A and B are shown apart, each in its own frame.
Chain A
Amino acid sequence: MPDPITLTINGTQVSCAPGTLVIEAAKQNGIEIPAFCYYEGFSLQAACRMCLVEVEKMPKLQPGCTLPAAEGMVVHTESPKVVEARKSTLEFLLTNHPLDCPVCDKGGECELQDMVFRYGAGESRFTEIKHHVDEKQWSPAVYYDGSRCILCYRCVRVCDEGIGVTALGLSFRGVSAQIVPNRGDHLECDECGWCIDVCPVGALTSGTYRYQSRPWEMNHVGTVCTHCSDGCKTTLSVRNGQVLRANNRDRSGVNGEFLCVKGRFGFDFVHHKERLQSPLLRKNGQLQPVSWSEALSAVAAKFSEVKARNGQFGVIGSTRTTNEENYLLQKFVREGLGSKNIDHHRTGDVVTLLDALKGRTGALATVNDLYTAKAALVLGADLSQQHPLLAYQLRANSRHHRSATYLVTPGPVREEQFATKALRSNPGEELNLLPQLSDDLKQHASLTVLYNAAIKGDAVRQLVAFCDSLGIEVKYLPLVDYSNSRGALDMGLLPDLAPGYQPLRNPGLNAAQILSSPDLDVLWVVGANPLKSASLAGEKAFVVVQDLFLTETAQRADVVFPAASAYEKSGTVTNTTGEVQRLKHGPKVMGTKSDLDIIALLARQLNIDLGPTTPDRIFEQIRKTVHGYNVALPVVATGGAAPTTPVNGGVPVAVNPSLISPSGDTLFTSGTLGRYSKMLAKVMEAPGQLFKA
């Protein structure tokens, strides 16, 4: 650490690291210098001139956003001269601003409004005609009102530097200067909508939220995105039980302000008109709405009957339900039904990794590690398409810290923009190319390795052996695909492993075996859609499905329970890096119940005692009993991400690679769930094509 420097701000001596900008030095000491164009972490513009401060011995006011603090500097941030300058800058801004606050989405959370409120400029001396341009729709998700735009270039920078898409630019000049989209009159981009969120005014508005509500009429609920496994926190803004908007306005969680299109706009499946709102029971070959008690009794009756005659159960759990639900489900199946036949759709090989690491828990990377790692190696994955947050972290790391990134992928990926080396391999043959990189990799003190489902079974062991041979510190990040894929593994939704990867002596049937077993008596599917891609061999099987929609699997069911989505319940989920975060329920969909409640109600009908069945109490139990989950409760309770430390159960396991298959999702798809998001369907102009030109 270089020696700190000392300067005086508003009469107080403060110290900061050399090179700190005055605006940051002030902020660190609780002094806010107002700014529009300055945006932490992005390139400097010095365009808005709001941050001008008075520095003694300098004749002109200086922009605090670009001026590095210097030893002995004397800065005034609220002197009469500074306040006057701010006021006049605001007056300038308002000259061509439409002042349509009453109908502007941003009203109430607009930085321009706040600044004018604080610094005056309420009375304008401008009596001329304002410059006007019409509002434009750039995409289903993004609208631009050039008249409101104050040209702070935040949107341009987050798109270019943050996401690497560069879909926004600046055209024309003078008062006519405008933000323009990359395809003439429309946008072709990731549709992440970050530009909308960073806009300090109402120039960029969202296709889902515009003209829906005033910000103060909504409740803002911080929960975790239910789409991919990166585990971004998202704040749902809810009014009258309806989600109207999603963003991460408090910048908490592993993702800070980042969200992809699914996190920001993909919440609308919640209110899709095809949501199941009543239990269904097959009568005369037809699924018919029935009461909860009728449906529960039918299932309980069947379960007792099959259990009594030692019949065959097959249970397929979910990759989107909470840890508590998964835990309770396997407990129900193993203890209550006495069955071992439980599995889920596996999308990555964590099991072999834990085995190969032989208890080295420190070798598991977190999301934050990707931002601080000196070097990263990506095997197989198209991160921008499948793990947008992880891609964002690597990009930010490269931009802020010049970290190195190595890629071995089957196709072109966007990370090549900043990669140190990018190799192309045949799918599944990524490991063969590793020797070509070993000299480069050895240069770095530490390395984080990300691998997807292309590397599974023995290949994972080979990977670990290769990394061990480098003689440097290596951390691993096994990629899985769905929001709680990791939790499903950790909670033992596996025929051969109990929660915490404890091996079971006599494994049960796996998912493929369940589906192909002709003797199956009961198939119980919780939040999954296995029959979309496979058929059910057990013709006589009684099928029970818990889901949001009448999926392909639900259509074959005898009983369907309408389940609540992750946005409608409490509990915890674990992301692909093994970090546990808390879900908070935001909206409410009439007629649905959480999977936890459904399982608990069934247990009660069957007189099975599963112990406590509230999310909090179950999480307590998980923390106490599941290996690696003894995480700090306050971290989770306050909305943080707590890393878990899983290890294998001490007995080598052999993973059957054919049971692992990737979800195949892109930036704009999200399994069955994604099909019910109208916004995702609308924005799919050219998914994935943008960077292959």
Chain B
Amino acid sequence: MTFSPELEARFAKMIGNYPPGRQKGALIPMLLYAQDEVGSMTPDLIQEVSRRLKVTPLEIEEVIGYYTMLAREPRGKHHIQVCTNVSCQARGGEELFAHACSRLGLHNKEKSADGQFSIEEVECMGACSWAPAIQVNYDFYYDMTPEKFDKLIDSLRQMQ
């Protein structure tokens, strides 16, 4: 399996960040960065990472099952994560999540048929003072309201 030259360069550097013989340390970053490029934990990806870091597929499975950001199935092009934990809940996070679901016609952890959007209710993402917050892929949007959300979706659709 091949990765983009940028990712290859990142991997090459990353492996050097761990003590000799302990390159397994790079496992989680490698999986996450590779997922950004590949989309999900495909069998090919697992095999490739297993080969490069000399870890068994079982060790990778243990990790994938544990970390919520590692996905077995590809998410939407715009993966919308709405926080509903206390600080966001206090300022309308749950209502925002309900709005987002109905706006996109999706349930929690679903993906739209065209693959553009997927939605997930997430735990606190450290944006509590600017609640309610959402993340689209890695981009934060703060002090959200249903109106702002609708505008955001529109502009994301435009991007296609």
Contacts and interface: CB of A to CB of B under 8 A. Distances in A.
**A and B assemble together:** yes
Interface of A: 166-173, 178, 180-184
Chain B contact residues: over half helix, strand or loop, or mixed?
helix
B66 interface: yes
B57 interface: yes
Interface string B37-76: 0000000000000000000111101101110000000000
A181 B58 CA distance: 7
27 contacts: A166-B56, A166-B58, A167-B58, A168-B58, A169-B58, A169-B59, A169-B61, A170-B62, A171-B61, A171-B62, A171-B64, A171-B65, A171-B66, A172-B65, A172-B66, A173-B65, A173-B66, A178-B65, A180-B58, A180-B62, A180-B65, A181-B58, A182-B56, A182-B57, A183-B57, A184-B57, A184-B61
A182 B46 CA distance: 13
Contacts of A166: 56, 58
A178 B58 CA distance: 13
Nearest to A173: B66
Given A171-B66, A172-B66, A180 B56 contact: no
A571 B31 CA distance: 59
A681 B140 CA distance: 57
Contacts of A181: 58
B48 to A, nearest CB: 15
Interface of B: 56-59, 61-62, 64-66
Contacts of A182: 56-58
For the complex of A and B, 10 pairs with smallest distance between CB atoms:
A171-B65, A182-B58, A172-B65, A169-B62, A169-B58, A173-B66, A171-B62, A171-B61, A170-B62, A180-B61
A184 B43 CA distance: 10
Contacts of B62: 169-171, 180
Contacts of A173: 65-66
A169 B62 CA distance: 6
Contacts of B61: 169, 171, 180, 184
B58 to A, nearest CB: 4
Looking at B61, B64, B66, which has the most chain A CB atoms within 10 Å of its CB? B61
A181 B64 CA distance: 14
A471 to B, nearest CB: 35
A178 B66 CA distance: 11
B33 to A, nearest CB: 22
A172 B68 CA distance: 9
Contacts of A171: 61-62, 64-66
Given A171-B65, A173-B65, 5 more contacts: A169-B58, A172-B65, A172-B66, A173-B66, A182-B56
Nearest to A172: B65
Contacts of A172: 65-66
Contacts of B66: 171-173
Nearest to B46: A184
Nearest to A182: B58
Contacts of B65: 171-173, 178, 180
Nearest to A693: B56
Contacts of A168: 58
A178 B56 CA distance: 18
Nearest to A171: B65
A94 B66 CA distance: 24
A169 B66 CA distance: 12
A167 B61 CA distance: 12
A182 to B, nearest CB: 4
Contacts of B59: 169
A170 to B, nearest CB: 6
Looking at A167, A171, A180, which has the most chain B CB atoms within 10 Å of its CB? A171
Contacts of B58: 166-169, 180-182
A56 B57 CA distance: 46
A180 B59 CA distance: 10
A180 to B, nearest CB: 6
A178 B62 CA distance: 10
Contacts of B57: 182-184
Contacts of A180: 58, 61-62, 65
A225 B65 CA distance: 40
A180 B57 CA distance: 11
Nearest to B59: A169
A168 B59 CA distance: 10
B7 to A, nearest CB: 26
Contacts of A178: 65
A131 to B, nearest CB: 15
A506 B62 CA distance: 67
A173 B66 CA distance: 6
Nearest to B64: A171
A607 B107 CA distance: 89
A170 B66 CA distance: 9
A686 to B, nearest CB: 15
A181 B65 CA distance: 13
Nearest to A174: B66
B23 to A, nearest CB: 18
B59 to A, nearest CB: 7
B32 to A, nearest CB: 17
B27 to A, nearest CB: 14
B138 to A, nearest CB: 23
A176 B107 CA distance: 21
Looking at A167, A169, A170, which has the most chain B CB atoms within 10 Å of its CB? A169
A184 B61 CA distance: 8
A669 B64 CA distance: 36
A166 B59 CA distance: 10
A673 B75 CA distance: 54
A378 B61 CA distance: 35
A289 B40 CA distance: 66
A469 to B, nearest CB: 36
A345 to B, nearest CB: 39
Looking at B57, B62, B65, which has the most chain A CB atoms within 10 Å of its CB? B65
A692 to B, nearest CB: 14
